[in-house]
Amino acid sequence: MVSTSNMGTALITGASTGIGAVYAERLARRGYDLVVVARNRKLLQALAARVTSETGRSVEVLAADLSEPTGLAAVESKLRSDSSITLLVNNAGVASAAPLADSNADQMSAMIALNVTALTRLSLAVVPGFIARNSGAIINISSIVALMPEALNGVYSASKAYVLSLSQSLRHELAGKGIRVQAVLPGATRTPLWGLAGVDVDAVLPGAVMTTEDMVDASLVAFDDGEFATIPSLPNVSDWNDFESKRLALGPNLSRSEPASRYNSH
Catalytic residues: 156
Cα gap 238→258, rounded to integer Å: 34
**What are residue 37's DSSP bridge partners?**
13, 62
Q: What is the DSSP string of 66-99?
A: TTSHHHHHHHHHHHHH-TTEEEEEE-------S-
Phi, psi at residue 177, to the nearest 5°? Answer: -110, 10
Cα gap 8→221, rounded to integer Å: 19
Handedness of CA 176, 178, 180, 181 (dihedral sign): negative
**What are residue 36's DSSP bridge partners?**
12, 61
Neighbours of 81 (CB within 10 A): 10
Cα gap 22→213, rounded to integer Å: 6
Contact 215, 186 (CB under 8 A): yes
Cα gap 68→43, rounded to integer Å: 19
Count of alpha carbons within 13 angstroms of residue 125, beta-carbon side: 23
Q: Which of 207, 106, 211, 93 has the alpha carbon at shortest distance from 152?
A: 93
Contact 189, 19 (CB under 8 A): yes
